[in-house]
Structure 1
Amino acid sequence: MAVFILVLVAVFVLCICSALLRWNEVRYRKKGLPPGTMGWPVFGETTEFLKQGPNFMKNQRARYGSFFKSHILGCPTIVSMDPELNRYILMNEAKGLVPGYPRSMLDILGKCNIAAVHGSTHKYMRGALLALISPTIIRDQLLPKIDDFMRSHLNNWDNHIINIQEKTKEMALLSSLKQIAGIESCSISQPFMAEFFKLVLGTLSLPIDLPGTNYRRGFQARKNIVSMLTQLIDERRASKETHEDMLGCLMRSDENRYKLTDEEIIDQIITILYSGYETVSTTSMMAVKYLHDHPRALQELRKEHLAIRERKRPEDPIDCNDLKSMRFTRAVIFETSRLATIVNGVLRKTTQDMELNGFVIPKGWRIYVYTREINYDPFLYPEPLTFNPWRWMDKSLECQNNLLIFGGGTRQCPGKELGIAEISTFLHYFITRYRWEEIGGDKLMKFPRVEAPNGLHIRVSSY
């Protein structure tokens, strides 16, 4: 009897599940939408997407083509895996497409952050950001700070086992903080770093505002960071001292054509820290990993940097001419970004019903411009799964239309060259000072983020 009841319950549950799946599919079966599946009510196919990652995308593309519908990341979404269409979407923000990032990210990064705004506001905020990282500013103000920081950060690694993931995370955040707040960054770096790591986890979580959730912790971390930055701004105003750093530039409204409120200044700072942190830290870690696994590339890179050191005294810093001469270094950074795929794609949202690729996309739907597979296209990159920095020595590859490693259109990463300068300087001091070997056993994950869950440990010795 008990077995019979269990069977009945199981059949009943299966019928309910089948009915829910059927109801959700019918609910989104609007005329003009592309093919695809929508999964469960509320949750959609998010679990399968996060669990299977790239395989989920490949399977859906095999069934429905390169343009299909789904329900991921909390909302109905159109996934585009077509290179030409992706480029069109990124280049035509003014035609009814705006950023469509998850609520958790927008809540925690702030309503004035550059990813949340669009139109004239985005143009203004982007202009304010570009004024902080112009080629002249990088050469005269930021590069000396980066060089000084990297020398210090990489000091005393000899004969130590280090977690290179942890070190590059600290490097990316603290280097940016020094560029933003100058000498004052030292006094706030440790409490700031603890809160910032919580903030990052919060942006990548479901927006569930309950005690103990990453979203709640991330949102509270934002409040604490805002409090620290507000205090720093107030102290600077009270002292009336001039500071040659990013915060000083943002605060000089009389000299700056971009006049921002304190709220906008703080959101701009958080944006700078957040956008550079993930890309710089992860690219640096993965470059160390790939160079370890490919001795010939490491030998070529070391040759380039030792030649730079031979032209200098030990105390001489890296300058812009040195950066320009790092052609193979730049190739290593591009190839690392391509092969590791630090960013899988970008999200847009429709502001009106619009036609794309012969289909009608309803207002309010998100479009996931999935760029990951472009990085492994054998027509663009022969032997795409091979780490081959030499392919980037042909500068024309950087100019190809389908290169979306750093985004595209009006939202191409504004800090691209600054990030390359930071990673190049890190690699310069790392490979000219040290040799290293992996301890072994550390697992790497490539989706939804590139990370080593248990760290990436290496044994370092002097070169």
Structure 2
Amino acid sequence: MDSTLIFSLILLILSFFYLLFLRKPSSNPDTPPGSTGWPIVGENINLGVLGPPKFIQKRMKRFSNDVFKTSLLGEKMAFFCGPQGNKFVFTNENKLLTSWWPKSVTKVLLFTEVIDQDQKIVAPILANTIHDILKPEALKKYVSVMDTMARQHLETDWAPYTEVKVHPLSQKYMFELACKLFMDEEDDERITKVLDSFKTATHGMISVPIDFPGTAYNRAMKGGKVLRDGLVKIIETRRKEMLESKEIVRDDVLSQMLLVKKEDGTLLNEMEISNNIIGLLVASYETSSVAITFVLKHLAEHPYVYDKVYEEQMEILKSKQPGELLTWDDIDKMKYSWNVARESLRLAPPSQGSFREALTDFKYAGFTIPKGWKIFWNVNTTNNDPKYFPNPEKFDPSRFEGSGPAPFSFVPFGGGPRMCPGKEYARIEILVFMHNFVTKFKLEKVNPYEKVLYLSTPVPAEGLPVRLYPHSKH
């Protein structure tokens, strides 16, 4: 009998005795309706099998359209639903709610010894630095770098082949781009090693948080250690370079982080910087690579939409001199392309939402949310609701014309004080890649019936294999 089967039987026996003898009814009957599933496991398995959209739809229909309770990642949790739920979460930041990361996630990815008691990963002084780095004015200089790297990537990793897998190639490109912009790192061998460990860590970090040999979470813990060790070596090397040169030798995020001082006047140490770099990588690389993957998936499935994107992007290309790079003004002209990207983000949201923690008991929709409960707002409570998006399964970029969707019904980047500071960064990298791809290739899905799986993000089961049809030279 293998170890996995033995572990499953032990868990089943423990669950039986828990349900039979130990489980107690909630001490507060006014909490939201719902189900907490099995002990220890909670509803993690149901969420993984159904995927977030179906998991949420079933519970909203059964329990409440406003808020329901569940148990995920070892925590009792309330899912806030609909635009009203989104608005409540966004407008009560640091009043009734505070940011929170699951310990199962932080233990995998981060140096937990330098995270404060409120699970805040980014120190306030560093948060201001990151916001400044990601402001539109600062991002303008990134456009040419993104364009250059997109051209090189498509030339070396796509153009030589008639058939490729979109998702792994998108991951490779986005990770190389993030390493370049955040750490000015271009060593292919080092980047590949960091990327492999990053994938292992992120794929297992939202599984049942039991660190048992052979489990996904155990593999994630090991991958996270390799990831942190690799980043610390990069940071130590950069600090040594800066001390020897006595000046900033590179214009990237890591160089600026090395100069940030904490309230006590000391510089951030390697572990603190590593935590923040990982936070940026999670926010930029993983979600953007998924976004690009599904944009290309939808362009392959809807030739009419592809043709309109191609027409818009060719107008921009024809206005440029041969070899001339894209500019900020060019990005602003890609209005239809961005509507296509937003519709893709609605149907396949790379970021499912984020967590909060209740700072005090409070009432919502007639129910009591006890202090300490975890809150999760999720884009799927509105993205698939026909009340806000008629015929929601249809791919229709025109939804975003004019005034667009109702307030708080489409929030792929969050909202309020904690709106993702990388929103503009994501918009630019997605549009730059779209421009370079559609002006070089048409595409066709190899398997029209490929399924979508839900790991930490939605991913095509086979990596989205496509056939490439290069355009003739213009």
Which TM class, normalised by the smaller chain length? 0.7 to 0.9
Paired position in structure 2 for 1:347: 355
Q: Deviations over 1:360-392 (max 9, x none)?
A: 222222222233031123333233221111222
> How far apart, in 2, do the equivalents of 1:294 and 1:402 lie?
24
Paired position in structure 2 for 1:161: 163
- Of residues 415, 425, 434 in structure 2, which corresponds to 1:408? 415
CA contact 1:206–1:215 (8 Å) conserved in 2: yes
Aligned in 2, Cα 1:92/1:267: closer, same or farther, shift over 3 Å?
A: same
- Of residues 233, 251, 270 in structure 2, which corresponds to 1:262? 270
Paired position in structure 2 for 1:333: 341
> How far apart, in 1, do the equivalents of 2:288 and 2:324 lie?
24
Tell me the SS of whatever aligns to 2:184. Answer: helix
Q: Which amino acid aligns with 2:347?
A: L
Q: Deviations over 1:325-358 (max 9, x none)?
A: 1111111111110111323332222233332222
* Structure 2 spans left out of the alignment, 5+ residues: 1-11
Residue 86 (structure 2) pairs with residue 78 (structure 1): no
> How far apart, in 1, do the equivalents of 2:392 and 2:239 lie?
53
Q: Which amino acid aligns with 2:47?
A: F
> How far apart, in 2, do the equivalents of 1:129 and 1:107 lie?
23
TM-fit CA distance, 1:81 = 1.6
Alignment of structure 1 residues 163-178 onto 2, 5 Å: 163-178=165-180
CA contact 1:124–1:258 (8 Å) conserved in 2: no
CA contact 1:105–1:202 (8 Å) conserved in 2: no
Alignment of structure 1 residues 193-342 onto 2, 5 Å: 193-240=195-242, 241=245, 242-253=249-260, 260-342=268-350
> How far apart, in 2, do the equivalents of 1:138 and 1:310 lie?
24
- Of residues 38, 41, 44 in structure 2, which corresponds to 1:40? 38
* Structure 1 spans left out of the alignment, 5+ residues: 1-13
Paired position in structure 2 for 1:432: 439
CA contact 1:132–1:246 (8 Å) conserved in 2: yes
Q: Which amino acid aligns with 2:375?
A: I
Q: Which amino acid aligns with 1:62?
A: K
Tell me the SS of whatever aligns to 2:278. Answer: helix
CA contact 1:104–1:203 (8 Å) conserved in 2: yes
Q: Which amino acid aligns with 1:205?
A: S
Q: Report which stretch shifted further, 398-407 or 161-170.
A: 398-407
> How far apart, in 2, do the equivalents of 1:137 and 1:201 lie?
32
CA contact 1:199–1:221 (8 Å) conserved in 2: yes
> How far apart, in 2, do the equivalents of 1:127 and 1:182 lie?
21
Identity %: 27
> How far apart, in 2, do the equivalents of 1:237 and 1:49 lie?
43
CA RMSD of aligned residues (A): 2.9
Paired position in structure 2 for 1:10: none
Tell me the SS of whatever aligns to 2:33. Answer: coil
Tell me the SS of whatever aligns to 2:125. Answer: helix
TM-fit CA distance, 1:234 = 2.6
Q: Give the structure with the larger helix fraction.
A: 1
CA contact 1:434–1:460 (8 Å) conserved in 2: yes
Paired position in structure 2 for 1:31: 29
Aligned length: 445
Paired position in structure 1 for 2:9: none
Aligned in 2, Cα 1:462/1:91: closer, same or farther, shift over 3 Å?
A: same
> How far apart, in 2, do the equivalents of 1:388 and 1:330 lie?
12
